[in-house]
Amino acid sequence: MLDRREGEEHEIREVLLVEDNLIDAQLMRRLLRRVTGAYYRITHVRTLNDAVLSAEELTPDVILADLNLPDSRGTQTVTSLQTSYPDIPLVIVSSWEDEAISLRSVKAGAQDYLVKGHIDAANLHRVIRYAVERKRTELELVRLAHYDQLTSLPNRTLLRERVGHALARATRSGTGMATLVLDMDRFKEINDMLGHEVGDKLLIEAGRRIRASVRDQDTVARLGGDEFAVILEGVSEAKEVLAVIERITCGLSDVTSIDGHEIKSSISIGIAMYPENGSDLSELLRAADLAMYQAKSLGRGRYQFFADAMQEEAQSRHALEWSLLRAVEKSEFRLVYQPQLCLRTGTVIGVEALLRWSSPARGLLTPHCFIAGLEEFGLIHEVGEWVLRTACEQVRRWHGMDFEPMRIGVNVSAQQLEDPMFIDKIRSALNDTKLPPEFLELELTESSLMSDPAEAGALLREIRKVGVRIAIDDFGTGYSSLTYLHDFPLNALKIDKRFVQSMESNDRGAPIANMIIGLGKNLGLDIIAEGVETEMQLEYLRNQGCDIAQGYLYARPEAPEQLTPWLAANQRISETYVRSIPVPKAGETGA
């Protein structure tokens, strides 16, 4: 603040002087008036009680206080003034005999002290200026230690402190408390697509809107990343919490404009109640976090209250995570292979690599028991790369045994497609195993491609440039969009085994299989039927013009050492098999 006096520019500082001795108070006034380059405006009170009562009206820049007042002595004065004016620098004024107490006062939180009878204007001005700077530095350190630097909301440290006080108040009053954990939906996608600067601004705006949706006595904190916590005091029933949740979700549902981008965000919320779901912050946050993950699994913009069953589920998830980490470390995964036969020639034209987990506790497990866990716990990239390299190496060994050249089919998850190094990993596996790229066929599901069709299309075109083939696995069970069939550079469609195995039950499997075969033929794609188990299914597929079949009718998925003799025998009988295939008459579909 600036003021004009005698044609010069002066800094104005508001001073609260707490001094019962009127002579000493008058001396302080005279000394402060002598300071050049600054103008001190003084409010004088004679007792600690008067100073405390003035706290609601005054916001001084500095407090000058005598240690010994009519109603307070020693460090008690410091403690009381700090409580009433927590952000204001404090300078103690004392006599020589009180110097030891003055030093203790500085240790108790005062910024500095002065000794009466040894104060001049320059020294007084310098002490005040340094006290203000020192307090500003202290407050900044406190802010850095207790507040999130991006959103300026309380961090975990301050949240823990505030919850401790809130729990004490709840215990005394017999009221409840709600702990909410909030996680922004699709934040990673927004961050990746629009950049971290836009993501940071979105977090700042989300924090502001959440804060505006709750009461002043409630606490909003940022836990880290895109997670926030809200502490609602004095609530005991779900309906009280639901009103707050509605305000939060409505506030966040409004479109946010950031750097020219229109962003519509939503949030998933988990709620834990005190005392039912926990007695301290750690327990309450854990319960609310479990509820939040349950809400997120149900879709975007949902909320869930904690239930005991979630704890059991969390324990199961933790056990699965530990087991999968051990499985990766101890190489417990195996690949088995199932042959694919050409329905025109009877020769093996490929094998599909299928992942198995040889669990010490549960035996040999198929992917539906653990793939979701590998994805959830971030292990799918490591395991997927191992599968790709091992499968390429195995089919290269079979090529070295003078078998007819075969393709190897490898399943790829949606998370692997999001890996920016995925193309490099494909190239590396092919180069290291010396496998020509045309013998590798990646099998992708429809859902893995449709979350971002434009990006998926670009990735598939890069894969095709390498020379690797692309097949859509389980076709007909996902989006089945004609648009992506037109836009994506595909080589094959795989008919899901459910359609194949329902052909004989007069179900809709046969018409659906016919449709897929006809669609694939018109688009110039190979058609592969999975799960072929009977001669009738095989004959029907062959007559409809299906290209390739795999299933138990030929062979179960086997380890390489078991499948190699089968492959050798099949190579010898393929010529006999070809002669047994009936030649279609003119006008018939198939040959």
Give the pLDDT band (50/70/90) at residue 543.
very high
Question: Of the residues 119, 146, 173, which one is the last residue of a structural domain?
Answer: 146
Number of domains in the chain: 3
pLDDT digits (tens, 9 = 90+) for 488-518: 899 999 998 989 988 877 677 788 889 999 9
Report pLDDT for 557.
96
pLDDT digits (tens, 9 = 90+) for 83-114: 999 999 999 888 766 667 778 888 888 999 88
Residue 12 DSSP symbol: E
Alpha carbons 111 and 89: distance in angstroms, whole number: 6
pLDDT digits (tens, 9 = 90+) for 171-219: 898 899 999 999 998 888 888 888 889 999 999 999 999 999 999 999 9
Give the pLDDT band (50/70/90) at residue 533.
very high
Rounded to 10 deg, the angle between the 380-399 and 560-580 helix axes is: 60
Asked if 528 contacts 495 with a C-beta cutoff of 8 angstroms, the reply is yes
Same-domain check for residues 177 and 138? no
Mean pLDDT confidence for 553-575? 83
87 burial via Cβ count (<10 Å: 0-12, 13-18, 19+): exposed
Same-domain check for residues 412 and 549? yes
- Which run of H or E residues covers position 290? helix 281-297
Report pLDDT for 587.
36
Alpha carbons 411 and 442: distance in angstroms, whole number: 6
**Closest CA relative to residue 578, chosen from 553, 542, 551:** 542
Q: How many residues does the chain have?
A: 591
Report pLDDT for 339.
96
Give the pLDDT band (50/70/90) at residue 429.
very high
Asked if 394 contacts 408 with a C-beta cutoff of 8 angstroms, the reply is yes
- One-letter amino acid at 133 equals E
Residue 583 inside a domain? The answer is no
Same-domain check for residues 120 and 186? no
Report pLDDT for 506.
64
Report pLDDT for 481.
60
Residue 131 inside a domain? The answer is yes
Kindly write down the DSSP assignment for every residue of 522-552, as one continuous string: HTT-EEEE----SHHHHHHHHHHT--EE-ST
Alpha carbons 328 and 350: distance in angstroms, whole number: 28
Which pair of structure tokens corresponds to residue 547? 């290209």
Using the predicted structure, report yes or no on whether residue 380 has a pLDDT greater than 90. Answer: yes
Give the pLDDT band (50/70/90) at residue 575.
very low
- Which run of H or E residues covers position 269? strand 267-274
Residue 320 inside a domain? The answer is no
Using the predicted structure, report yes or no on whether residue 48 has a pLDDT greater than 90. Answer: yes
Kindly write down the DSSP assignment for every residue of 141-184, as one continuous string: HHHHHHB-TTT-SB-HHHHHHHHHHHHHHHHHHT--EEEEEEEE
Report pLDDT for 85.
94
Residue 151 inside a domain? The answer is no
pLDDT digits (tens, 9 = 90+) for 381-411: 999 999 999 999 999 999 998 788 899 999 9
Residue 464 inside a domain? The answer is yes
Alpha carbons 190 and 512: distance in angstroms, whole number: 38
Other CB atoms within a 10 A radius of the CB of residue 585 amount to: 8
Range of the domain at 132: 2-146
Residue 579 inside a domain? The answer is no
CATH code of the domain in which 554 resides: 3.20.20.450
Residue 49 inside a domain? The answer is yes
For residue 275, cis peptide bond before it (omega within 30 degrees of 0): yes
Higher pLDDT, 4 or 71: 71
pLDDT digits (tens, 9 = 90+) for 208-265: 999 999 999 999 999 999 999 999 999 988 889 999 999 999 999 887 889 888 888 8
Same-domain check for residues 253 and 383? no
Report pLDDT for 39.
86
Same-domain check for residues 365 and 482? yes
Instruction: Tell me the C-alpha to C-alpha distance, in Å, between residue 392 and each of 1, 389, 423.
Output: 74, 5, 15
Report pLDDT for 501.
87
Same-domain check for residues 94 and 113? yes
Residue with tokens 């002087």: 17
Give the pLDDT band (50/70/90) at residue 4.
very low
pLDDT digits (tens, 9 = 90+) for 11-34: 778 999 999 999 999 999 999 988
Same-domain check for residues 400 and 469? yes
Report pLDDT for 100.
76
Measure CA 48 to chain center. Answer: 51
Q: Which residues sit opposite 222 in a β-bridge?
A: 228
Report pLDDT for 396.
94
Same-domain check for residues 570 and 424? yes
Report pLDDT for 260.
87
Same-domain check for residues 460 and 351? yes
Same-domain check for residues 374 and 483? yes
pLDDT digits (tens, 9 = 90+) for 456-488: 889 999 999 999 999 999 887 765 567 677 788
Alpha carbons 147 and 140: distance in angstroms, whole number: 10
Mean pLDDT confidence for 276-284? 91
Residue 439 inside a domain? The answer is yes
CATH code of the domain in which 19 resides: 3.40.50.2300
Question: Of the residues 259, 286, 306, which one is the last residue of a structural domain?
Answer: 306
Mean pLDDT computed over every residue of the chain: 87
Alpha carbons 424 and 528: distance in angstroms, whole number: 28
Same-domain check for residues 124 and 166? no
Q: Which three-class secondary structure state does DSSP give residue 274?
A: strand
Residue with tokens 């994805």: 375
Asked if 45 contacts 65 with a C-beta cutoff of 8 angstroms, the reply is no
Share of the chain above pLDDT 70, in %: 92
Mean pLDDT confidence for 368-378? 89
Higher pLDDT, 206 or 3: 206
Same-domain check for residues 207 and 91? no
- One-letter amino acid at 377 equals F
Alpha carbons 210 and 203: distance in angstroms, whole number: 10
CATH code of the domain in which 268 resides: 3.30.70.270
Q: Which three-class secondary structure state does DSSP give residue 306?
A: coil
Instruction: Tell me the C-alpha to C-alpha distance, in Å, between residue 423 and each of 188, 206, 336, 391.
Output: 21, 36, 24, 16
Alpha carbons 278 and 269: distance in angstroms, whole number: 17
Question: Of the residues 306, 321, 344, which one is the last residue of a structural domain?
Answer: 306
